[in-house]
Amino acid sequence: MSEDIIGQDIHHEHISHDAIEKAHSGLNTKVIWKVFWILLGITIFEVGIAFVTAIPHEILIYTYVFLTLVKAYYIVGFFMHLRFEKIPMIYSLILPFLLIVYFIFIALYEGTALGHTP
Amino acid sequence: MSHAVTATASTGDWSGGHSPFNVRWGKLYMWIFLISDAFTFSSLLILYGSLRHRFSEIWPTPGEVFTHFPFIHGHVPLAYVGLMTFILIMSSVTMVLAVDAGHQLKKKGVKLWLGLTIIGGLMFLGSQAWEWYHFIHGSKAGSYYLADGRFARTDDLTPGVLKFHGGAMVEGVEAQTLIATATKHVHGANLTTNEYGPAPLFGDFFFFITGFHGFHVFSGVVINIIVLIVASRGVLERKKDYELVEKVGLYWHFVDLVWVFVFTFFYLV
């Protein structure tokens, strides 16, 4: 049996439809609609709290950023299927965004020093 | 026992002989393109954020700009963009269902869900055209650059009342005098002035960011139509391979993802 696995491995130069099919087992119609309701719920909540004047603006912004990242997780993870891909692929695609985090830091830090006419 | 150990080691992700990512090149290329596109959109939104932060004292509040809703007279802030977000999320769901039908090699399902995705995309583009029309056209009352250098907005619902950034208001004879001596009367928006505030950058960013995103939606609709034609002709059925649908699916979800960020950073914050 172990020989079988090794044998398969050597001849496995292309990726068979079956192998990819297996990787898709995490997503079915039920999960898709669940993700839809989560995304819709968050969006309605976001629009809703925009009208609650009692919430300080700072807290509102942090809440929005957090909820947007939650939505991004569900879209990328489930709709774009990244959650079910191989770990090396996930890291290869996500880690470059550390540069964006750095860019946000630079832009906010330098923002006040930008030109003085709008 | 020793055999089993060898087998485990050789099936490791990086042990060679097979793709460590377990995806085919076409899909990986799409991902790499989307990462680069994500960097472009990130740059735009980050620049928007830093310039808005820099000019926060004159930057319009989005909730006071995007107040129109079809067939409703009066202010309905954010409801319309909320609806647009709903349309795009909905079309994303139909796209996942098209990809799902493709995995099960169901041609009918692919055609149905891809068709609905195209309709969702067209609805979104229509909504955006409507929003642009109202943004460019503006209100009847418009806004004024006053002789003393201040900027004052007026409102079709409360004519003759000047509103200043931060909530201060002037009405009656005093407002009439200020309007009579105003240096400039602005309606709607273009690339150099807009009635929503004294920062032309606000209009520029609106046109560029939502326009760039809208163009992505437009391209997506065109590509979806092409894939629908290919699928309808049975090309994918003969190959028993619906990966093409998966690839355009990735692009479509990405467009949805970008809108989620534009929605937050342009309209909500």
Q: What is the pLDDT of residue A7?
A: 40
Give residue B223's domain range.
20-138+203-268
pLDDT digits (tens, 9 = 90+) for B53-94: 888 888 998 888 888 888 887 788 888 999 999 999 999 999
Residue B16 in this model has a pLDDT that exceeds 90 = no
pLDDT digits (tens, 9 = 90+) for A28-73: 889 999 999 999 999 999 999 988 888 898 899 999 999 999 999 9
d(CA B145, CA B194): 11
Contact of B89 with chain A, judged by CB distance below 8 Å, is answered with yes
Specify if B180 maps to a domain.
yes
Provide the 8-state DSSP code for B61: P
Question: Which residues touch B24 (CB under 8 Å, ≥6 apart)?
Answer: A15, A20, B243
Interhelix angle for A57-74 vs B243-262, to 10°? 180
Specify if B259 maps to a domain.
yes
Residue B7 in this model has a pLDDT that exceeds 80 = no
Provide the 8-state DSSP code for A48: H
Distances (CA, A) of B60 to A5, B134, B198, B201: 64, 16, 8, 10
d(CA B102, CA B108): 9
Domain match, B264 and B147 both: no
Q: What totals of helices (H) and strands (E) does chain A contain, helices first?
A: 6, 0
Show which of residues 37-76 on chain A sit within 8 Å of chain B, judged by CB atoms: 39-40, 43-44, 46-47, 50-51, 60-61, 64-65, 67-68, 71-72, 75-76
Domain match, B112 and B224 both: yes
Domain match, B180 and B62 both: no
Distances (CA, A) of A67 to A8, A43, A105, B257, B268: 44, 9, 20, 13, 12
CB contact under 8 A, B18 and A6: no
Task: Tell me the ipTM for this assembly.
Answer: 0.86
Domain match, B121 and B209 both: yes
Distances (CA, A) of B121 to B84, B117, B252: 10, 6, 9
Specify if B128 maps to a domain.
yes
Domain match, B118 and B221 both: yes
How far is Cα of residue A50 from the mean position of the Cα atoms in its chain? 24
- For residue B247, the domain's CATH number is 1.20.120.80
Domain match, B34 and B102 both: yes
Q: What is the pLDDT of residue A115?
A: 66
- Across the interface, of A32, A35, A39, the residue whose CB is closest to B100 is A32
**Confidence (pTM):** 0.86
